[in-house]
Amino acid sequence: MSDMRPGQIASGPPLPGTAGGLSPFATELVSLLPRLRRYAMTLTRSASEADDLAQASCERALKAQAQFQEGTRLDAWLFSIARNLWIDALRKRQREGRTEEIDAHLDLPGEDGRQVNEVALTVDSVQQALAQMPEEHRRLLMLICVEGCSYRAASEQLAIPIGTVMSRLSRARQGLAARLGMEAK
């Protein structure tokens, strides 16, 4: 790569001048924005806070890019960054008694000696975890989380009470989290 000029595409024709463009890593972040925003919305229940969280997460991801293990799932890493930023903001709010803006410039992992649990999942992690689960858990997870069924629709389709849907689903989600090594700090 030593013969590359700044801004030159490594495997394509040269870019004229410094006409913008995103690095592959940033491009992947862009492609994850819709899911990241919906995750942030689920956490914050506020459109503006959600976008603040999404933005801070992407900025943090770019800043900490060197820590991302190539070959692992960027979405899982990005979500865990968002989770940590959100929890840190809540902790700060609790300590200081006021609402803190979610800040991408909070200490990077290790800077203050804290171990931050950021997830590193491989391509197969989720599939493998699903394969290890009881069939009825797997089926419910697919129905609700992948196919987007409501609890009521799932209860009708599987002919089980909604209460059973809820208890089975939460156990399945908890089981998946455990198998994926996602745990509270």
Partner 1 sequence: MTKPEVSDEMLTALADGELSAGEAERLHALVTADPELAERFAILAETRFLLEAEGEPKPEAVPERLLAAIDAADAPPAQAQPRLTVIAGGAGEKPIAAPRTSARRAGWRLPLAASFLLVAGGVAGYLAAGRGGQGSPGIAVAGLDRAALSAALDTVASGGAVALPAGNLRIIASHKLADGRLCREYTISGAGQGKPGWNGVDCRDGQGWRTEFVAATPPESAGYKPASGGALAEAFLLDRGAEGPLDPAAEQGLLRGAR
Residues 24-43 that bind partner 1 (CB under 8 A): 24-35, 37-39, 42-43
**Distance between CA atoms of 34 and 16, rounded to whole angstroms?**
31
Residue 131 binds to partner 1 (criterion: CB under 8 A): no
Q: Please give the residues from 96 up to 115 whose contact with partner 1 meets the rule CB under 8 A.
A: none
Amino acid at 136: E
Task: Work out which of 55, 64, 106, 160 binds partner 1, going by CB under 8 A.
Answer: 55
Task: Work out which of 3, 98, 159, 184 binds partner 1, going by CB under 8 A.
Answer: 184
Task: Work out which of 19, 112, 113, 131 binds partner 1, going by CB under 8 A.
Answer: 19
Shortest distance, position 64 Cβ to partner 1, whole Å:
11
Which residue, 162, 119, 117, is CA-closest to 144? 162
**Distance between CA atoms of 153 and 11, rounded to whole angstroms?**
49
**Distance between CA atoms of 172 and 167, rounded to whole angstroms?**
9
Q: Please give the residues from 159 up to 178 whose contact with partner 1 meets the rule CB under 8 A.
A: 166-167, 169-171, 173-174, 176-177
Residue 71 binds to partner 1 (criterion: CB under 8 A): yes
Residue 81 binds to partner 1 (criterion: CB under 8 A): no
- In contact, 155 and 162? CB cutoff 8 Å: yes
Q: Which residues contact 15 (CB under 8 A, 6 or more apart)?
A: 7, 8, 9, 21
Shortest distance, position 51 Cβ to partner 1, whole Å:
6
Residue entry with tokens 């069924």: 149
